[in-house]
Amino acid sequence: MDLELTEEQQMMRDTARDFAQKEVAPKAAELDKTGRWPSEIVARMGEMGLMGVAIPAEHGGAGMDAISYALAMEEMCAACASSGVIMSVNNSLYCDPINKYGTPAQKERWLAPYASGKKLGCFGLTEPMSGSDAQTMATFAERKGDKWVINGSKNWITNGPHADTILVFCITERPAGGTAENPGGKVKHTAFLVDRGTKGYTQAKHDEKLGIHAAHSCTVFFENVEVSDEHRLGPVGDGFKVAMSTLDGGRIGIASQALGIARAAFEKATAYAKERKSFGTVIANHQAIAFMLADMATEIDAARLLIWRAAAMKDKGVRHTTESAIAKLFASEMATRVAHKAIQIHGGYGYSQEFAVERHYRDARITEIYEGTSEIQRIVIAANTLK
Amino acid sequence: MDFELNDTQRLVQQTARDFAQKTILPVAAAIDKEERFPADVMRGLAELGLLAVNVPERLGGAEAGTVSYALAMMEVARTCASCAVTMAVTNMVGEVIARFGTPAQAEKYCRGLADGSLVAGAFALSEPEAGSDPGSMRTSARKVGDQWILDGQKQWITSGAHAGVMVVWARTGGPGTGGISCFLVEKGTKGLIIGKHEDKMGLRGSNTVGLAFDGCAVPESALLGELGGGFKIAMMALDGGRIGISSQAIGIASAALDEAVAYAKDRKQFGKPIAEFQAMQWQIADCRTELDAARLLCFRAAALKEAGKPHAKEASMSKVYSTEAAVRICNRSVQIHGGYGYTREFAAERHLRDVRVTTIYEGTSEIQRTVIARSVLR
């Protein structure tokens, strides 16, 4: 039992914190308000190794571990949750599966430029009619000679409007007589890499959301998109496995995002409580406020430990599906509670855009939904506990 | 970063688990029902070194560290919370004496606490009118010749009627926390009067009494630590004690969850096991998540204490979170068991009664929040 960070991990945290606080935090309110895509921050994240934290250096990454990645995500999201999720999609949902399942040629073409931040990736699993129940997707890839022809659409694709490549999951086999609407029986999925500019691959205008305004997401369409077999990631029929194991890592990223948002809200609430006076004393001296802060601090620490545990298991190569789900469920619901309390402590000012806590509250809310809703996490955790 | 247990920790955990499952579990319901002080269990724990897990070997302890202690507590509490609290207080008293006692005091008491010959240790801090605010205690100690004369009352003293030695706090100076000192009082000392056994909601096998000190004379050598240094000893002991009570709560809650899981897989309604309903799965998932969070907070506090680092805030976080989560978990376990959960046929109701005290003793949740808030607002 050793819960200390290594020197390398501390360095990653400090570097990320320094960058996030100096270069990102001052822009966060403006990014939220305008919904501007933070291209300059994305570029800087690339330069700093934040776009491929746990990807080996030979593939363009920073060559660090999953704990370092979690630390960097926490720091980035404490400054700007939009920038954080752009980073997490590129790291966890795009680079990580290519690093794990890609051939050497695929890594050279589709990993190194992305892990080093020169290019940007995104991940296409969810569809308009298929969210938590990912197996019911309709997007189909049909084999035609040495090519695959993809038809369908994917939505809520974070980074979609800007990404150079999408990792997209398609059905490649359905039982005879099955249709897109009703596949009937067991279908098989396969993952493909599709580059921006490929004929028939188009992106809709970006979504308007409650929070994470600067992290653009959109619906993408595949209309007779032709790719060669070199674009297939992993074995034919293994797509669902690729998606699920990717999400085990992705959930560590989103849990860290929630943690960062919560920490920012907590730090602002603490500072405000020490300044603001009521009934003749600073409100921090009222137990009603102090106890809220105590609960926030406790839950933040618990979430961080759960995240580090899942990340440490990932680093050891141990299966961590349940632990990632636990970390994600706890951290995301915690972040909403903490941001809620941060607004309460700020009173009327908390509801105004003059203070950042209302942004943290809006940003936190998504963490309970994407990369597996809280309900999906509970299914995963219950299944493991009831085994 | 390494969340794995080392060999010693695994050994202590396994030893405690084997003993608890084989020897304690079969008698746990009877201990509760008959309000039986678990003297046999305490002897068994002593033989395994579990009454002095974190006491140096040269004083008869196991010297296995705080993480091991937490693990042992969790295993014992999984079977019987009454045994666990009796074990916890004995461990705490042994640790306090080992740490703050003179070599003679340590030699005299630590071994006896470890080997079970002193039966148990007791920790006498609370008073009828001084609970969360121990600085307002009234029990006094006057120096008369080469003796200290203790007068006053103590309340909620776990193992008070059985403990071979107890640590007693009394006022030796002016008001407030600076005027408090700490004394070692042996069972049977003249003027030490054991009050009535408290009739409690849970932990019915643990002995809880009030104590009266009526001109109770102890020798000069009974002073533990420095004159006027008692409050500091109490606070440091409680930092460690809170890890113990966190572990107790976690142990009780893990039993409650295990039983809820087994029941949910077995019980059928609407044509299938209730485990197949999301209403049950959700409660079980939340229990598991909160239990894991509690364990990690507890291990963190224990690892810091073991490394000799400050851990007051972390111990308080562990205590407030673990105990409140454990209450929720035990409550859900009763709910999952339905009507059977309300009967004594199942252990779920005992766990709920037992766990309820954990948010109160060794510092209420309110005191933990005060400690945490003070630290984060600094």
> What is the 3-class SS of A109-176, one letter each residue?
HHHHHHHCCCCCEEEECCECCECCCHHHCCCEEEEECCEEEEEEEEEEEECCCCCCEEEEEEEEECCC
According to DSSP, the residues that pair with B149 across neighbouring strands are: B142, B217
Mean pLDDT of chain A: 96
For A252-300, write each residue's pLDDT tens digit: 999 999 999 999 999 999 999 999 999 999 999 999 999 999 999 999 9
Q: Can you tell me whether residue B4 is helix, strand or coil? A: coil
pLDDT the model gives residue A186: 81
**Does the ipTM surpass 0.90?**
yes
Is residue B362 part of the annotated active site? The answer reads: yes
User: How many other CB atoms are found less than 10 A from the CB of residue A162?
Assistant: 17
| pLDDT higher than 70, residue B155 | yes
Q: Is B368 on the interface with A (CB under 8 A)?
A: yes
Query: Cα–Cα distance between A285 and A281 in angstroms, integer?
Result: 7
Taking CB atoms and an 8 Å limit, are B372 and A298 in contact across chains?
Answer: yes
Q: Is B261 on the interface with A (CB under 8 A)?
A: yes
> Strand A188-195 relative to strand A165-173: parallel, antiparallel, unpaired?
antiparallel
Query: Cα–Cα distance between A126 and A166 in angstroms, integer?
Result: 13
For B227-267, write each residue's pLDDT tens digit: 999 999 999 999 999 999 999 999 999 999 999 999 999 99
Taking CB atoms and an 8 Å limit, are B1 and A2 in contact across chains?
Answer: yes
Query: Cα–Cα distance between B288 and B285 in angstroms, integer?
Result: 5
Q: Is B324 on the interface with A (CB under 8 A)?
A: no
Using 50, 70 and 90 to split pLDDT, how confident is the model at A27? Answer: very high
The b-or-e profile of B341-363 (16+ CB within 10 A means b, else e) is beeeebbbbbbbbbbbbbbbbbb
Shortest alpha-carbon distance between residue B6 and chain A (Å): 7
* B231-376: CATH number: 1.20.140.10
Superfamily of domain B7-119: Acyl-CoA dehydrogenase/oxidase, N-terminal domain (1.10.540.10)
Catalytic member of A30, A323, A371, A375: A371
Rounded to an integer, the average pLDDT of B129-144 is 95
For B103-126, write each residue's pLDDT tens digit: 999 999 999 999 999 999 999 999
Query: Cα–Cα distance between A83 and A22 in angstroms, integer?
Result: 14
Taking CB atoms and an 8 Å limit, are A290 and B2 in contact across chains?
Answer: no
- Residue type present at position A49: G
> Strand B121-124 relative to strand B165-171: parallel, antiparallel, unpaired?
parallel
The minimal CB distance from A294 to the residues B287, B303, B376 is found for B376
**Which residues make Cβ contacts (< 8 Å) with residue B22, sequence separation at least 6?**
none
Query: Cα–Cα distance between A109 and A92 in angstroms, integer?
Result: 18
pLDDT the model gives residue A180: 62
Q: Can you tell me whether residue B154 is helix, strand or coil? A: strand
Shortest alpha-carbon distance between residue A90 and chain B (Å): 25
User: What is the DSSP track for B124-178?
Assistant: E--BTTBSS-GGG---EEEEETTEEEEEEEEEEEETTTT-SEEEEEEE-SSSSGG
Contact pairs from chain A to chain B, CB under 8 Å: 132
User: What is the DSSP track for B207-242?
Assistant: -EEEEEEEEEEEEGGGEESSTT-HHHHHHHHHHHHH
| pLDDT higher than 90, residue B193 | yes
* B122-228: CATH number: 2.40.110.10
User: Which residues of A lie closer than 8 Å to B, measured between beta carbons?
Assistant: 1-6, 9, 67, 270, 273-274, 284, 287, 290-291, 293-295, 297-299, 301-303, 305-306, 308-309, 311-313, 323, 326, 329-330, 377-379, 381-386
Q: What is the CA radius of gyration of chain B?
A: 21
Query: Cα–Cα distance between B69 and A221 in angstroms, integer?
Result: 58
User: How many other CB atoms are found less than 10 A from the CB of residue A13?
Assistant: 18
Within 8 A of A330 by CB-CB distance, chain B residues are 289-290, 293
Shortest alpha-carbon distance between residue B241 and chain A (Å): 18
Shortest alpha-carbon distance between residue A297 and chain B (Å): 8
The DSSP code for A2 is B
> What stretch(es) of chain B map to CATH 2.40.110.10?
122-228
pLDDT the model gives residue A182: 64
For B345-371, write each residue's pLDDT tens digit: 999 999 999 999 999 999 999 999 999
User: What φ, ψ does residue B167 adopt, rounded to 5°?
Assistant: -95, 125
pLDDT the model gives residue A135: 84
Pick from A10, A12, A259, A298 the residue to mutate for testing the B interface (most B CBs within 10 Å).
A298
Pick from A1, A267, A328 the residue to mutate for testing the B interface (most B CBs within 10 Å).
A1
- Residue type present at position A17: R
CB contact residues (below 8 A), chain B span 154-193, against chain A: none
> What stretch(es) of chain B map to CATH 1.20.140.10?
231-376
Shortest alpha-carbon distance between residue B283 and chain A (Å): 9
User: How many other CB atoms are found less than 10 A from the CB of residue A224?
Assistant: 11
User: What is the DSSP track for A208-220?
Assistant: P-SS-TTS-EEEE
| pLDDT higher than 80, residue A171 | yes
pLDDT the model gives residue B11: 98
Query: Cα–Cα distance between B247 and B347 in angstroms, integer?
Result: 19
The DSSP code for B49 is T
Query: Cα–Cα distance between A15 and A99 in angstroms, integer?
Result: 24
| Structure tokens given for A206 | 């970006």
- Residue type present at position B267: R
| pLDDT higher than 90, residue A185 | no
| pLDDT higher than 80, residue A177 | no
For B84-96, write each residue's pLDDT tens digit: 999 999 999 999 9
Within 8 A of B289 by CB-CB distance, chain A residues are 326, 329-330, 381
User: What φ, ψ does residue B162 adopt, rounded to 5°?
Assistant: -115, -20
Taking CB atoms and an 8 Å limit, are A378 and B282 in contact across chains?
Answer: yes
Pick from B274, B286, B288, B365 the residue to mutate for testing the A interface (most A CBs within 10 Å).
B288
> What stretch(es) of chain B map to CATH 1.10.540.10?
7-119
Pick from B13, B296, B313, B323 the residue to mutate for testing the A interface (most A CBs within 10 Å).
B296
Query: Cα–Cα distance between B352 and B32 in angstroms, integer?
Result: 13
Taking CB atoms and an 8 Å limit, are B292 and A306 in contact across chains?
Answer: yes
The closest alpha carbon to A109, from A90, A95, A89, A93, belongs to A95
CA B207 and chain centroid, separation: 13
Taking CB atoms and an 8 Å limit, are A294 and B372 in contact across chains?
Answer: yes
Supply the angle between the helices A357-365 and A25-34 in degrees, to the nearest 10: 70
Query: Cα–Cα distance between A271 and A266 in angstroms, integer?
Result: 9
Mean pLDDT of chain B: 97
First to last CA, chain B: 28
pLDDT the model gives residue A253: 97
Query: Cα–Cα distance between A73 and A96 in angstroms, integer?
Result: 15
The DSSP H or E segment spanning B29 is helix B25-34
Query: Cα–Cα distance between A78 and A195 in angstroms, integer?
Result: 32
Query: Cα–Cα distance between A199 and A209 in angstroms, integer?
Result: 29
User: How many other CB atoms are found less than 10 A from the CB of residue A16?
Assistant: 28
| Structure tokens given for B181 | 């000192």
| pLDDT higher than 90, residue B14 | yes
Using 50, 70 and 90 to split pLDDT, how confident is the model at A179? Answer: low
Query: Cα–Cα distance between B220 and B223 in angstroms, integer?
Result: 6
pLDDT the model gives residue B195: 97
pLDDT the model gives residue B1: 87
The minimal CB distance from B275 to the residues A302, A306, A386 is found for A386
Rounded to an integer, the average pLDDT of A3-25 is 97
| pLDDT higher than 90, residue B184 | yes
| Structure tokens given for A108 | 């050279």
Q: Can you tell me whether residue A347 is helix, strand or coil? A: coil
User: How many other CB atoms are found less than 10 A from the CB of residue B177?
Assistant: 16
Rounded to an integer, the average pLDDT of B44-51 is 98
User: To the nearest whole percent, how much of chain A has pLDDT over 90?
Assistant: 94
For A237-251, write each residue's pLDDT tens digit: 999 999 999 999 999
Residue ranges and CATH numbers for the domains of chain A are: 7-119 (1.10.540.10), 122-237 (2.40.110.10), 241-385 (1.20.140.10)
- Residue type present at position A231: H
User: What φ, ψ does residue B189 adopt, rounded to 5°?
Assistant: -60, 135
Within 8 A of A297 by CB-CB distance, chain B residues are 317, 372, 376
Using 50, 70 and 90 to split pLDDT, how confident is the model at B17? Answer: very high
CB of B94 closer than 8 Å to CB of B120: no
Using 50, 70 and 90 to split pLDDT, how confident is the model at A176? Answer: confident
For A213-226, write each residue's pLDDT tens digit: 999 999 999 999 99
pLDDT the model gives residue A184: 63
pLDDT the model gives residue A136: 86
The closest alpha carbon to B259, from B323, B330, B354, belongs to B330
Using 50, 70 and 90 to split pLDDT, how confident is the model at B175? Answer: very high
